[in-house]
Amino acid sequence: CEICLEILLTNIQAGLCVVIPCSFTTADEFTPKHTVWYKCETSQHSCSEPDIIFHSNKNTDKKAQAGFEGRVSRLEPDVSQNNCSIIINDLKESDSGSYQLRVTGELNGKEDGFTFIPRVTVSINVLDELPKPRVMIPTLTEGQQATLTCTAPGLCSGSVPEITWTWRGAGGTESYIKGNRTDFNTDNPKSFTQRHISTLTFNPSAEHHNTSVTCKVNFTGRKSTEETLTVNVNCEWQFLEIIIAFLIGAVLSSGVCFLAKKCYRYRIYFCSYY
């Protein structure tokens, strides 16, 4: 039997999620039926039943460790595909550790199973500050509908975060606005990773000019991050002023050129006279 695991030694942000890519092969005589994942101390030679964090058999009496229920799921439900990849949502610092796989099934018609020796190590990092969301504000013109977008940090963000918009006027007063949510999956539907995006569509006016808009993302576990940008609105009268100023400048330039040419002609005539 063989197993292929991607060993993860990189720091992963708490509150988000992690995908553990995994595939396995077994003897031809063995028919896999269920996958079991364990988390135990690295010093242990092999994980045991109390260390279970996920069991694909819903009818088993072997329960997952406290704190892992509902947070671990398979990327491929069909065990015959030899895909043992899992996703762990809403990561906690305590999720750091060593993970081991066991595959159960039938060998020559009898119940059997294989516990794979290779393990995967996951390191969860708790940062003082989460990365800020990315807020995109297009060019805003008074009276022309526009859409702001806010993208939550991280491709793999576990449970769906709450995204809120806040306007802050010149007087410091705040008003909360509900945006529209869009969750974009990545190209690989089995990757279980997606970007969480909220959009806010409105009609800009002169009152919005020089105000602040804040996008706040709340993750599971009371972790949040936000980004604030200043809104600049181009008013219609500004464009009119630019056009008028351009025309005035053009007229004045033409007048100066005309006078210069006239003076130049008089100067030639005067010199010729003497």
* pLDDT-based confidence at residue 215 (cuts at 50, 70, 90): very high
Q: What is the pLDDT of residues 74-107, one digit of tens each?
A: 988 899 999 999 988 888 888 888 899 999 999 9
Average of per-residue pLDDT across 223-232: 91
- The counts of H helices and E strands in the chain are 1, 21
Q: What is the percent of the chain with per-residue pLDDT over 70, rounded to a whole number?
A: 70
Residue 21: pLDDT band with limits 50, 70, 90: confident
State the Cα–Cα distance between residues 257 and 263, nearest whole angstrom.
10
pTM over 0.75: no
Over residues 23-39, the mean pLDDT reads: 92
Residue 216 pairs in a beta bridge with 164, 226
pLDDT digits (tens, 9 = 90+) for 103-146: 999 998 899 998 888 888 887 776 657 789 999 999 999 989 99
The strand pair at 11-13 and 120-125 is best described as parallel
* Range 250-267 average pLDDT: 47
pLDDT value of residue 226: 94
pLDDT at 31: 92
pLDDT at 241 over 60: no
The CA distance from 29 to 36, in Å, is 20
| Residue 208 pLDDT > 60 | yes
pLDDT score recorded for residue 14: 74
Q: pLDDT tens-digit profile of 143-193?
A: 899 999 999 887 665 677 889 999 887 666 777 666 665 655 444 445 556
Alpha-carbon span 52 to 34, nearest angstrom: 13
Residue 239 phi, psi dihedral angles, 5° rounding: -65, -35
Alpha carbon distance 26, 8 (integer Å):
24
Torsion sign over Cα 123, 57, 82, 105? positive
Asked if residue 242 has pLDDT above 90, the reply is no
Average pLDDT of the chain to the nearest whole number: 78
Query: Which of the two residues, 182 and 17, has the higher pLDDT score?
Result: 17
Q: How far apart are CA 91 and CA 97, in angstroms?
A: 12
Q: How far apart are CA 263 and CA 207, in angstroms?
A: 51
Q: What's residue 257's pLDDT?
A: 46
